[in-house]
Every structure is written in C-alpha cells, then in structure tokens.
Amino acid sequence: MNKKNIIVIGSGPAGMMAAIRAGQLGQEVVPLTNVTLIEKNPTSGKKLLLTGKGRCNITNACDIEILIGNFRKNGRFLRTALNTFSNTDVMQFFEDRGLSLKIERQLRVFPVTDTAGSVLEILKKKLAENNVTIIYNARVDDILVQDNQVKGVLLRDKKEILCDRIILATGGISYGFTGSTGDGLRIAQRLGHQIIPLCAGLVPLKTRECYPKLLEGLTLKNIQLTFIGQTHRSAPTINDRKRQIISEVGELLFTGFGISGPLILSLSGQIVDWLNEGKAVFVTIDLKPGLSYEQINARFQREFSINPKKNIRSILKFFLPQRMVDVFIEIAGIRHDKQVSQINKDERHRLVVLFKGLRLEITESLPVEQAMITRGGISLKDINPQTMESCIIKGLYFAGEIIDVDADTGGFNLQASFSTGYLAGENAARLLTTDEHR
Ligand SMILES: Cc1cc2nc3c(=O)[nH]c(=O)nc-3n(C[C@H](O)[C@H](O)[C@H](O)COP(=O)(O)OP(=O)(O)OC[C@H]3O[C@@H](n4cnc5c(N)ncnc54)[C@H](O)[C@@H]3O)c2cc1C
C-alpha cells in the first residue's frame, strides 16, 4: 500500500497546528501518512514570536459565544472550528505539555513565562513527536492540480513535490518581513478562489493635524474618544443621515503621525471601512469624561481667582500632562505668557471646549503591511466551514489568517489560527481514508 502525503504550506501558528493534528492522526488513525511542513523562512513562527509584544496572547478565556461574536459577521463560519478545538482545548494543549498559563485583564491568556518563545518551543516539540518533516528555506510558488484535485506543489527552485492533500496556511500580508507576503492568496486566486479585498486591521491612524508629533509617546488614560464618519468634510450636521458615530472610553497614545493605543487599534477596522467608503472621519477626545462643561468651567474659575498672578501654563499643569500644556494653549489660540487674570471669558470658554472635545481629522490608517492583522482574504463562500476544504479544488484546505476572518485584540486571532489549523489537519488526514468514495 502506497504512503499518502499531506503537505502543509507555512509554518506559522495555523500551519504548525494543522501539521501537528494531521501528524497525530497519521500515527494513530490513518497509518502510512507522511506530513511535510514547508516554510520559506529558515525558522518557524517568526510572527508568533512578536505576538503580544513578545509575550504571546495565545487565546481568550471567554465564553465560546463571546469568542464567536468577536469575529463579527464572519464568526458563524468559525463555529465548527472553534467547537472542535476551542479556547479551553488550546489552553489544555499547552498546559498538558508543561506550559503554565495565566489569565490577565479582559480574559487574555498568556504563558506564565511571558515569552512567545516558550509557546513556539511546545509547537516545535509536538511537530517532532508527531513525525512531521519540516523543509525550511523552501518557497512554494504554486500548487499543481489535476482534474480539480491537488497533485503537488512547485517550489521556487522548480522542484515538484507530489502529494494527496495540501493545507495552505501562508497568512495575510501584514508584517511582511516575517514571511507573510500574500503568496498563498495569489496561488488561491489563480486556482479560482475569490479574494475579499485586503485591508488593514488593528492598525494605528494618521491625522491631518501635526501636533500629535509634538506629543509622541504620551499616553492619555480614561479619556472618551468619539469617532464621527460623515459624507463630507465640513462641520458635522445632525441632518447627515449617513453620519456614523462610535464612542468609547479608554486609552490613547500619540505617535509621530497620529494616534494609536489599544482602543484605537480595536476601533480601527470600523474607521478603515468608513475611510474606504469615502467618508470624512473626525475624532474628538474628551479629556475629562467624568466632568461636565459647567464643572470644568467652575474649576477654572476657582483656580483663576485663587492664583490671579500665575501664568496660564502653570495653572494648566494641574489639569493636563505637562507635555500637553503648550500644545493645548497653542490650539486654544491663547498667548503663552498670559497671566490668568488676563484670560477673558471667551478664552476660558475655548479652554473648556477643548477639554471636552479636542478634535482631530483622520486621513488614513498606516498601510496593511504595518497593521497587526490583514482583513479580507479567501472568501468564506469558497471554503467548507465543516472541514476547511476548498469548495473549488478537492484536497486543498485553508487555515489561519489567509481566510477572510479577523477579530479584535485579545488572543482571538491566534485562537482562530489554532482552531482552523486543527480542523484542516484533522480533515485532511481523516478524509484520506475515504478517497476512493469521493
Ligand atoms: C505585532 C503583532 C502582534 C500580534 N499579537 C497577537 C496576539 O498577542 N494574539 C493574537 O491572537 N494575535 C496576535 N497577532 C496576530 C497573529 O500573529 C496572526 O493572526 C497569526 O500569526 C496568523 O497565523 P498564520 O499561521 O495564519 O500566519 P503567519 O503567522 O503569518 O504564518 C504564515 C507562515 O507562512 C510562511 N509562508 C508564506 N508564504 C510562503 C510560501 N510561499 N512558501 C512557504 N512558506 C510561506 C511565512 O513565512 C510564515 O511563516 C499579532 C500580529 C502582529 C503582527
């Protein structure tokens, strides 16, 4: 009896998990199966090592329905994958192999070691245990197909490797220096799969105003951000029926080109969609969401009357991070050397209005190559959600970020990679036994 061959393309989290599961079944259930993992880099998991700022937020310990909800409208597609290899299964997988985990704020799960390297070590050990052959420094240029069925892969050096099943797990196009450069998407498209246009997800935003550069590195905590997307650039009007609003309390980080931070990254998908629809997008920052206009005004009046001889800059230091004071006075259009006794009612009003709504215009996001994830990818219509197999080419499976699913930060994206990888590996191996009946 001939040995069957499964090839997994891409040794990221999705490809490694797919190869591990196929390898396990190859030993236990479907003997005489070879699993080969092909990676163009000299090592596995280059992007995985960067995750969670090097600490690797491997999953989220939330309820499965909340997990599915985090993938928005595409979450339903992942239901079988997430039920087959859930967040608790992912935690168990690593804990059973001696990696202790901890749960942090918003139920984010990290290894106790605080290093992504320890997550990668376990995956590599499991690949070896399950006899997966890894070929490094080998770039797959194409997938060979005969009678609508996979036949093998073509490497950059023109070598062909024949096989019975292929799992394509080459990721998206973000952080291309890690190896995710969209090769798999181009191959899948050539084979007839629809690619949902790629765009940036979890990405910092650029602003028209230049003052964020002066505040680069400054984080504002407990502020309220209100994003407005409208059909024209003039001041927002209530009559604009296409106007959309998102408002949330959180943290903001000023950067050399605009704004970032966890809340901005989380909301960025929606903002990128508005920009792509041609909307003008503005954000207002309420620096004191717990205080009303009247309360801030009263506080200013009190401070001004106690310290009439003080310079406005030294008073504002009580209300603002020191680095913001000069920028703030500049935007309010007040002279820097004014004593508070010289601040008139109109100038005080301008200061209070700024506290409640410092405004920035969002011009664009950083490019998708610099985003944490790629949105878009292989259309869900072309993939069977029960198996991860292509609906177009028999024996071809997909796993990970190459698929058109993406979620917020919090460990959800790695969970999707592990779950789809597991399901693809499982079916690629199991369905080998039923080939004759297909
Ligand atoms: C900075 C950063 C931090 C992140 N932090 C988190 C986090 O903490 N938690 C979380 O859930 N998600 C996080 N993510 C997202 C997460 O890393 C990705 O969703 C995940 O890595 C996708 O896995 P993948 O296996 O599908 O693709 P990838 O990790 O992109 O792996 C694809 C692999 O395929 C290889 N490859 C590509 N083309 C070819 C080819 N032609 N031939 C052979 N090999 C090829 C690549 O070299 C690469 O090794 C983060 C992302 C970034 C950029």
Looking at residues 325-335, what average pLDDT do you find? 93
pLDDT of 360 over the 50 cut? yes
Closest residue CA from atom 50 of ligand 1: 51
Position 437 scores a pLDDT of 44
- Whether the Cβ atoms of residue 229 and residue 280 lie closer than 8 Å to each other: yes
Ligand 1 neighbours by CB, cut-off 6 Å: 9-15, 38-41, 46-48, 50-52, 56-57, 139-140, 169-171, 174-175, 179-180, 183-184, 372-373, 400-401, 411-414, 417
Whole-number Å distance between alpha carbons of 220 and 208: 20
Position 240 scores a pLDDT of 56
Instruction: Detail the DSSP E strand segments found in 280-429.
Output: 280-286, 358-365, 373-378, 396-398
pLDDT of 289 over the 60 cut? yes
Position 432 scores a pLDDT of 82
Q: How many CB atoms lie within 10 A of CB 351?
A: 21
DSSP 87-116: HHHHHHHHHHTT--EEE-GGGEEEETT--H
Confidence of residue 1 (pLDDT cuts 50, 70, 90): low
Task: State the chain's mean pLDDT as an integer.
Answer: 94
Show the tokens assigned to 134. 């890894």
Position 38 scores a pLDDT of 98
Q: How far is the CA of 13 from the centre of ligand 1 (A)?
A: 7
Q: How far is the CA of 354 from the centre of ligand 1 (A)?
A: 41
Confidence of residue 72 (pLDDT cuts 50, 70, 90): confident
Whole-number Å distance between alpha carbons of 310 and 324: 18
- Whether the Cβ atoms of residue 82 and residue 68 lie closer than 8 Å to each other: yes
Position 91 scores a pLDDT of 98
pLDDT of 392 over the 80 cut? yes
pTM for the whole thing? 0.93
Judging by DSSP bridges, how do beta strands 205-207 and 258-260 pair with one another? antiparallel
Judging by DSSP bridges, how do beta strands 149-155 and 160-162 pair with one another? antiparallel
Looking at residues 363-375, what average pLDDT do you find? 96
Whole-number Å distance between alpha carbons of 104 and 125: 26
Residue 318 contacts by C-beta under 8 Å, 6 or more apart in sequence? Answer: 303
Q: Which one of 166, 170, 398 would you pick to mutate in the ligand 1 pocket, going by the greatest count of ligand atoms within 8 A of its CB?
A: 170
Least confident stretch, 112-116, 150-154, 315-319: 315-319
Closest residue CA from atom 53 of ligand 1: 372
- Whether the Cβ atoms of residue 145 and residue 392 lie closer than 8 Å to each other: no
Looking at residues 114-137, what average pLDDT do you find? 98
Whose CA is closest to 228, among 175, 282, 285?
A: 282
Looking at residues 37-62, what average pLDDT do you find? 98
201-241 pLDDT per residue, tens: 999 999 999 999 999 999 999 999 999 999 876 655 555 55
300-327 pLDDT per residue, tens: 999 999 988 999 999 999 899 999 999 9
399-428 pLDDT per residue, tens: 999 999 999 999 999 999 999 999 999 999
- Whether the Cβ atoms of residue 92 and residue 85 lie closer than 8 Å to each other: no
Q: How far is the CA of 11 from the centre of ligand 1 (A)?
A: 9
The single-letter code of the amino acid at 189 is Q
Looking at residues 23-33, what average pLDDT do you find? 84
Closest residue CA from atom 26 of ligand 1: 400
Q: How far is the CA of 331 from the centre of ligand 1 (A)?
A: 42
Confidence of residue 152 (pLDDT cuts 50, 70, 90): very high
Looking at residues 423-434, what average pLDDT do you find? 90
Confidence of residue 336 (pLDDT cuts 50, 70, 90): confident
Sign of CA dihedral 230, 236, 242, 245: positive
Show the tokens assigned to 116. 């992504």
**Which residue is it, tokens 């070879």?**
34
Looking at residues 387-391, what average pLDDT do you find? 98
Whole-number Å distance between alpha carbons of 173 and 369: 6
89-108 pLDDT per residue, tens: 999 999 999 999 999 999 99
Residue 250 contacts by C-beta under 8 Å, 6 or more apart in sequence? Answer: 222, 223, 225, 261, 262, 263
Q: How far is the CA of 48 from the centre of ligand 1 (A)?
A: 6
pLDDT of 242 over the 70 cut? no
- Whether the Cβ atoms of residue 195 and residue 376 lie closer than 8 Å to each other: yes
Whose CA is closest to 414, among 268, 100, 251, 202?
A: 202
Give the number of the atom of ligand 1 that is nearest the alpha carbon of residue 59. 11
Whole-number Å distance between alpha carbons of 55 and 300: 44
Looking at residues 179-204, what average pLDDT do you find? 97
Q: Which one of 180, 190, 198, 265 would you pick to mutate in the ligand 1 pocket, going by the greatest count of ligand atoms within 8 A of its CB?
A: 180
Whole-number Å distance between alpha carbons of 268 and 285: 16
pLDDT of 137 over the 90 cut? yes
Q: How far is the CA of 144 from the centre of ligand 1 (A)?
A: 24
Position 27 scores a pLDDT of 84
Catalogue all structural domains in the chain, each as residue range(s) with its CATH number: 4-200+370-437 (3.50.50.60), 204-365 (1.10.8.50)
Give the number of the atom of ligand 1 that is nearest the alpha carbon of residue 171. 27
Looking at residues 272-288, what average pLDDT do you find? 94
